[in-house]
Amino acid sequence: MRISILGGGGFLGRKIANRLAKEGTLGGHRVHGLTLFDIVTPPVPEAPFPVVALAGDVVDLPEAAIPPGTDVVFHLAAVVSAQAEADYDLGRRVNLRGTDALVDACRRLVAAGGKPPRVVFTSSVASFSATQADTLPDAAKQVPGNSYGAQKAAAELILADASRRGFMDVVSVRLPTVTVRPGRPNKAASSFFSGIIREPLLGLEAELPVPDDFGVWVCSPRRAVDWLLHAGAMDTTGMGLDRSLSPPGISTTVGDMLRAMDEVQPGASALVRRVADPAIAAIVGTWPPAFTAERARALGFVPHEPFVDVVRAFIEDDLAATRQERGL
């Protein structure tokens, strides 16, 4: 099996690459080659198969990013939420034109006699809007409350049509907010959901821009990777024309997340300062706090562990590396 990861140098891209390198298989099939593509050359994990790392712009996707014979493409390259809202041109360019470039690359593979590759696209909870009281069913309409969400919803449609036309075999996974994100705060509007756990566990202060009873739909990096790998290998014959799904995340509140952290490290939440930020609240305030996620469960997407285990997993997987990366 040959795999490409567009956005292979990002947070989830690196985690997928590391997992593939560790396991050496995807869906029970041996991996024979991995290509990592990002705006700067992604780090290469030690792997039992050849790994090629390439730098470039997804909008001008080079042929080498998805070489002939590629079986699975993880399309993660994106301009994330707050940045896409702040820079309309950049978000539209990367999130829409980058997706078009992927469609064209897959068309070329098929036109040259290749098999349509499985494409796993990371869509987002941000492609929906709802009130804090809502639990969205699988049939809920995507009504994005920000440009990033609109670009994700549009990309899902374009990819589903490309799939129908036989250029690819797509599964779009509408990821919850992935928490706890290692490293530093980033330009996602959701960055603080990780910050309020990661920073106190590092002994640092964090700002909370929304009230404690704010409801949020989250998942751990471990579970996000499980789901994306499942999407890379699952049987799609029963999906029909609808190639998108919401995986079974956790519906929680910021207050419950802080209580879970205190259970693991008593007193840690004292480092969280309440600092209202209307711009961030306006973006995340439109994101639904819960989904029924029945379709994904039926398609074999594993359910989520409780949030306290997410905190423990962050400590196990990422705390030491984050400390080292930030010189703490």
Ligand X SMILES: NC(=O)c1ccc[n+]([C@@H]2O[C@H](COP(=O)([O-])OP(=O)(O)OC[C@H]3O[C@@H](n4cnc5c(N)ncnc54)[C@H](O)[C@@H]3O)[C@@H](O)[C@H]2O)c1
Give the binding site for ligand X (CB under 6 A): 7, 9-13, 38-39, 57-59, 76-80, 94, 98, 122, 124, 175, 177-178, 190
Closer Cβ to ligand X, 12 or 34, answer by number: 12
Distance in Å, CB of 87 to ligand X, minimum: 11
Tell me the HSE value of 175 on the side-chain side, using a 13 A CA sphere. 25
Here the tokens at position 198 are 């990661």
Distance in Å, CB of 188 to ligand X, minimum: 6
Distance in Å, CB of 266 to ligand X, minimum: 27
148 catalytic residue (yes or no): yes
Element (H, E) at 37: strand 33-38
Are the C-beta atoms of 264 and 308 separated by less than 8 Å? yes
Tell me the torsion sign for CA atoms 183, 206, 78, 227. Answer: positive
- Beta-bridged to residue 52, according to DSSP, are 35
Closer Cβ to ligand X, 190 or 252, answer by number: 190
Please tell me the distance from the alpha carbon of residue 275 to that of residue 93, in angstroms, as a whole number. 33
Q: Which amino acid is at 325?
A: E
Are the C-beta atoms of 46 and 40 separated by less than 8 Å? no
> Which residues have a Cβ under 8 Å from the Cβ of 204 and sit 6 or more positions away?
271, 328
Closer Cβ to ligand X, 99 or 163, answer by number: 99
Check 11, 74, 128, 148 and give the catalytic one.
148
Q: Which residue is nearest to ligand X (CB)?
A: 10
**DSSP β-ladder status, 250-253 and 177-178:** unpaired
**DSSP β-ladder status, 206-208 and 244-245:** unpaired
Are the C-beta atoms of 210 and 282 separated by less than 8 Å? no
Please tell me the distance from the alpha carbon of residue 47 to that of residue 26, in angstroms, as a whole number. 13
Here the tokens at position 213 are 């009873």
Distance in Å, CB of 247 to ligand X, minimum: 10
Distance in Å, CB of 138 to ligand X, minimum: 17
Active site residues: 148
